[in-house]
Chains A and B, each alone.
Chain A
Amino acid sequence: EVQLVESGGGLVQPGGSLRLSCAASEFISATYYISWVRQAPGKGLEWVAKIKQDGSEKYYVDSVKGRFTISRDNAEKSVYLQMDSLRAEDTAVYYCATTLPFRPYDYWGQGTLVTVSS
């Protein structure tokens, strides 16, 4: 069964850090790039970061470059998003999703809420 499960969200103060996890079924872990896509409350969708199957390529949206780091551990079938120097505008539900080059996001997790507030 194709499955993605996010965890690690929560309330954090501005300037703080959080590490999100995305646990994937074995099929996904071996086959797909994994992306993080976020959705601010009441807003639309924004792609945040992407990592290749073997971790050799990583990409970020400009607004998180230098603050967020995506990584994966295929042995653990997991992808991570380390988020540092968090800002209020990073408040959103963060989804992990599968993708391939020039392909849409076929499978999505249920999302994890990150709230940045003092």
Chain B
Amino acid sequence: ETVMTQSPATLSVSPGERATLSCRASQSVGNNLAWYQQKPGQAPRLLISGASTRATGIPARFSGSGSGTEFTLTISSLQSEDFAVYYCQQCNNWPPTFGGGTKVEIK
């Protein structure tokens, strides 16, 4: 199966600063890569599909990039509601697999 590795595990950022999260695939997933945000006690929420397309209602401060095996989620200016855990997921190869997550916490 395709192993998804996210880094760092924890990212400490001050409100208003930029956050850059990485996701690496053990084999090419093309651009079939999604990002999710999960807050405590809530279901994951789709942020980005197709590596770079924001889902409906997702603010423009969230952007995704990359293809093949290397992907990045950037939050341009962190708001208080953005502190959460972020997961990447590939839907190109069988079975679908998730990364281990990056926790974005307040610095």
Which positions in A face B, CB cutoff 8 Å?
Answer: 44-47, 59, 61, 95, 99, 102-106, 108-111
0/1 per residue, B38-50, Cβ < 8 Å to A?
A: 0000111110010
B100 interface residue per 8 A CB criterion: yes
B: interface residue count bin? 20 to 34
Are B43 and A47 closer than 8 Å at their CB atoms? no
B55 within 8 A of A: yes
Residue in A46, A99, A102, A110 whose beta carbon sits within 8 Å of that of B43 in the complex:
A110
Known A44-B87, A44-B100, A45-B89; contact A104-B43, beta-carbon cutoff 8 A:
no
Q: In the complex, are the beta carbons of A45 and B91 less than 8 A apart?
A: no
Residues of A within 8 A of B45 (CB): 108
Additional A-B contact list (8), CB under 8 Å, known A44-B99, A106-B49, A110-B43: A45-B98, A47-B98, A102-B32, A103-B91, A104-B46, A104-B49, A104-B91, A108-B44
Count A-B pairs with CB separation below 8 Å. 46
Q: Does B75 contact A (CB under 8 A)?
A: no
Contact B92 A102 (CB under 8 A): yes
Tell me if B95 and A61 are in contact (CB < 8 A): yes
Confirm or deny: B34 has a beta carbon within 8 angstroms of a beta carbon on chain A.
Answer: yes
A71 to chain B, nearest CB (A): 19
Top 8 nearest A-B pairs (CB, nearest first) are A104-B34, A108-B43, A45-B98, A47-B96, A104-B49, A44-B100, A44-B101, A102-B32
